[in-house]
């Protein structure tokens, strides 16, 4: 490749905890020992939980693209920047408006700094009145970024095939769960998917090419094949070793109905499924292939990309997941030792068990909670709760977890999100299920002077109005069954002697409820 990068420059990655961003940082560090990378996200704790966070070449900075001051600090001192930001999440009612504001903030921050080049990953799709809101927003963000004084290289991609990507998860769950599929007409729409490995190669290559002197550039990136979604489904079924799948397109599926269908069958919630489903009606085929000459590489076929994704999943080597983009809610009311919460009563269920075990032995089953391991007791009740949540429009249990053996801040565990991890001491989970209030589930591990270890399990709930209070009162009898059984199951999973408990403890006075 042509040399276009100063080895002493600092590269900024905005959206570093997202699906592509997490993998890109790993790739950059693996490729070049001289890389200096500034990684940015709204949550420092999420950034600190990534495997690359301990690398001396990585500078961690908390920044929000909707906050001009924090974004200006993030850009300052960097020469090139990857813009991998998207506001399509449950907390954003109008993601297109948020994306416009973020892009304008980036233009302003870049223009005032010494930034020389922006690399933006957008979406394929020709600009037309029929273009979906999702793809139109991706196009609009690129147009806003290019309106500033800093040259922008835009890479436009269709479906990204990789373990943990939202599009791949939709494909996987639909084909795995439905031998016969009544599908929308979009299954016959042509698309040009690309493997995540090829996306990373193109992004990485844009740093080394002398593109900044060529002004604004736009390249389409895709794999070597144009296929329909139906062909993609059948290829997945073959690679996954499934039986024959019958796919029957019908004309009555609107994007809204498609999103509900995706929501019920797959782990992808409706707020994400709907814009993705709307985008599937648009052909997404590469028309500008110049980048294939500029950054040559082996482009994986759809079959090979699917095979690699399945292999990663089977060996629990999923580096990033579409759920990583979720926000860690602060829930400051749940902090231990805080003064009594002024915003209202916090209900609490606190239980303890004393084990003849080390903290490490107790920690192992705690961090396996959820996913394939389950909840150590009455899993059918947790599945029922997940199904009820799905029907109510929530996330349900199907999101599972990225890895069965490790957790980091920001990870998803079914309908929980990891709020805080302190190995062998503390795990805090925030509920993302639909509730009339806010809920936290915590596990605290304390080694005793005699070598034994105390495991404390605490469920806390901040009700929202009378409905929240009634909800807690109604399910309290069920807690005595489920939470007691879960703590006992965790203790037994250590294979060490239970010295005392599980016993129910009174709530701490600072947070006690009625």
Using an 8 Å Cβ cutoff, are 406 and 366 in contact? Answer: no
| Domain shared by 130 and 187, yes or no | yes
CA separation for the pair 428, 418 (Å, rounded) = 6
Residue 342 has pLDDT above 50, yes or no: no
| Domain shared by 47 and 187, yes or no | yes
User: How many structural domains does the chain have?
Assistant: 2
Residue pointed to by tokens 């990033």: 320
Say which residue, 266 or 408, is predicted with more confidence. 408
Does the reported pTM lie above 0.85?
no
**pLDDT score of 88:** 58
Over the stretch 194-222, which tens digit does the pLDDT of each residue have?
999 999 999 999 988 766 667 789 999 99
Q: Which of 324, 350, 375 is the last residue of a domain?
A: 324
**pLDDT score of 209:** 77
**pLDDT score of 83:** 95
Is residue 319 in a domain?
yes
- What 52-59 contacts at long range (C-beta under 8 Å, 24+ apart), as own/partner pairs, is 52/25, 52/26, 55/29, 57/29, 57/33, 58/25, 58/29, 59/10
Q: CA torsion sign, 208 to 78 to 98 to 170?
A: positive
CATH (domain of 362): 3.30.530.20
Is residue 1 in a domain?
no
Using an 8 Å Cβ cutoff, are 143 and 300 in contact? Answer: no
Is residue 5 in a domain?
no
| Domain shared by 264 and 348, yes or no | no
The residues near 399 (Cβ < 8 Å, ≥ 6 apart) are: 267, 323, 412, 414, 415
| Domain shared by 69 and 98, yes or no | yes
| Domain shared by 315 and 446, yes or no | no
Using an 8 Å Cβ cutoff, are 39 and 59 in contact? Answer: yes
Neighbours of 243 (CB within 10 A): 7
Is residue 94 in a domain?
yes
Cis upstream peptide for 20 (omega within 30°): no
Is residue 225 in a domain?
yes
What is the band of 327 on the pLDDT scale with cuts at 50, 70, 90? low
Using an 8 Å Cβ cutoff, are 389 and 396 in contact? Answer: yes
Residue pointed to by tokens 């992808």: 268
Using an 8 Å Cβ cutoff, are 207 and 80 in contact? Answer: yes
| Domain shared by 20 and 105, yes or no | yes
List, in sequence order, every residue forming a beta bridge with 459; answer none if it has no partner.
Answer: 349, 441
Residue pointed to by tokens 């605490």: 458
Average pLDDT over residues 355-369: 96
Residue pointed to by tokens 């794999």: 223
Token pair for 220: 């389409």
For a pLDDT cut of 70, what percent of the chain falls above it? 86
Q: Which of 290, 324, 358 is the last residue of a domain?
A: 324
Residue 139 has pLDDT above 60, yes or no: yes
**pLDDT score of 346:** 87
Of 453, 434, 417, 239, which Cα lies nearest the Cα of 330? 417
Is residue 74 in a domain?
yes
| Domain shared by 457 and 318, yes or no | no
Region of 59 please: left (phi>0), alpha (psi -120 to 50) or beta. beta
CA separation for the pair 231, 411 (Å, rounded) = 32
Q: Which of 286, 308, 324 is the last residue of a domain?
A: 324
- 8-state DSSP, 33: T
Of 318, 327, 326, which Cα lies nearest the Cα of 172? 318
| Domain shared by 301 and 425, yes or no | no
CATH (domain of 57): 3.40.50.720
CA separation for the pair 117, 149 (Å, rounded) = 10
Over the stretch 396-417, which tens digit does the pLDDT of each residue have?
887 788 888 888 888 889 889 9
| Domain shared by 133 and 213, yes or no | yes
CA distances (Å), origin 248, targets 141, 173, 178, 307: 36, 17, 12, 25
DSSP 278-340: HHTTS-B-----THHHHS--PPPPHHHHHHHHHHHHHTT-----GGGGS-----GGG-TTPPP
Of 41, 395, 324, 328, which Cα lies nearest the Cα of 165? 324
Range of 245's domain?
10-324
Say which residue, 393 or 15, is predicted with more confidence. 15
| Domain shared by 63 and 154, yes or no | yes
Strands 117-123 and 80-83: parallel
Over the stretch 465-511, which tens digit does the pLDDT of each residue have?
889 999 999 999 888 899 999 999 999 999 999 999 899 988 764 44
Average pLDDT over residues 274-296: 82
**pLDDT score of 363:** 97
| Domain shared by 35 and 72, yes or no | yes
The residues near 190 (Cβ < 8 Å, ≥ 6 apart) are: 226, 227, 228, 283, 284, 285
| Domain shared by 339 and 310, yes or no | no
Is residue 120 in a domain?
yes
From the CA atom positions of the chain, what is the Rg in Å?
24
Residue 425 has pLDDT above 90, yes or no: yes
Return the biggest CA–CA distance within the chain: 71
Is residue 4 in a domain?
no
């Amino acid at each position: 490749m042509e040399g276009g990068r100063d080895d002493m420059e600092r590269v900024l990655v905005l959206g570093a905890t997202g699906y592509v961003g997490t993998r890109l940082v790993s790739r950059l560090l693996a490729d070049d020992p001289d890389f200096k990378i500034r990684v940015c996200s709204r949550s420092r704790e999420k950034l600190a939980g990534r495997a690359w966070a301990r690398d001396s070449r990585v500078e961690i900075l908390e920044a929000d693209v909707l906050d001009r001051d924090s974004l200006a600090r993030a850009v300052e001192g960097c020469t090139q920047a990857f813009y991998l930001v998207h506001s399509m999440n449950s907390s954003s009612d109008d993601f297109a408006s948020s994306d416009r504001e973020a892009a304008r903030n980036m233009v302003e921050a870049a223009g005032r700094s010494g930034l020389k080049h922006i690399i933006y990953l957008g979406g394929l799709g020709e600009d037309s009145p029929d273009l979906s809101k999702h793809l139109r927003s991706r196009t609009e963000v690129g147009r806003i970024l290019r309106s500033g004084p800093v040259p922008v290289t835009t890479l436009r991609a269709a479906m990204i095939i990789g373990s943990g990507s939202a599009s791949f998860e939709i494909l996987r769950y639909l084909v795995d769960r439905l031998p016969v599929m009544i599908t929308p007409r979009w299954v016959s729409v042509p698309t040009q998917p690309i493997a995540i490995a090829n996306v990373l190669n193109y992004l990485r290559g844009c740093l080394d090419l002398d593109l900044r002197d060529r002004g604004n550039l736009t390249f389409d990136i895709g794999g070597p094949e144009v296929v329909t979604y139906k062909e993609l489904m059948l290829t997945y079924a073959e690679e996954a070793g499934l039986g024959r799948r019958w796919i029957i397109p019908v004309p009555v599926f609107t994007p809204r109905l498609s999103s509900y269908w995706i929501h019920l069958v797959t782990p992808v919630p409706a707020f994400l499924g709907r814009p993705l489903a709307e985008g599937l009606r648009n052909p997404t085929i590469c028309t500008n292939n110049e980048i294939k000459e500029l950054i040559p590489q082996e482009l994986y076929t759809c079959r090979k990309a699917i095979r690699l994704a399945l292999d990663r999943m089977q060996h629990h080597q999923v580096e990033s997941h579409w759920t990583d983009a979720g926000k860690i809610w602060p829930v400051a009311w749940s902090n231990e030792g805080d003064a009594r919460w002024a915003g209202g009563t916090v209900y609490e269920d606190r239980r303890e068990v004393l084990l003849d075990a080390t903290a490490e032995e107790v920690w192992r089953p705690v961090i396996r909670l959820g996913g394939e391991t389950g909840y150590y007791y009455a899993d059918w009740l947790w599945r029922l709760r997940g199904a009820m949540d799905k029907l109510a429009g929530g996330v349900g249990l199907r999101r599972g977890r990225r890895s069965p053996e490790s957790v980091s801040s920001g990870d998803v565990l079914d309908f929980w999100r990891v709020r805080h991890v302190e190995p062998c001491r503390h795990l805090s989970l925030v509920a993302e299920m639909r509730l009339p209030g806010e809920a936290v589930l915590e596990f605290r591990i304390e080694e005793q002077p005699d070598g034994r270890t105390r495991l404390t399990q605490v469920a806390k709930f901040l009700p929202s109005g009378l409905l929240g209070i009634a909800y807690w009162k109604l399910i309290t009898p069920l807690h005595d069954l489920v939470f007691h059984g879960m703590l006992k199951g965790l203790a037994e999973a250590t294979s060490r002697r239970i010295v005392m408990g599980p016993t129910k403890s009174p709530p701490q006075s600072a947070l006690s409820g009625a």
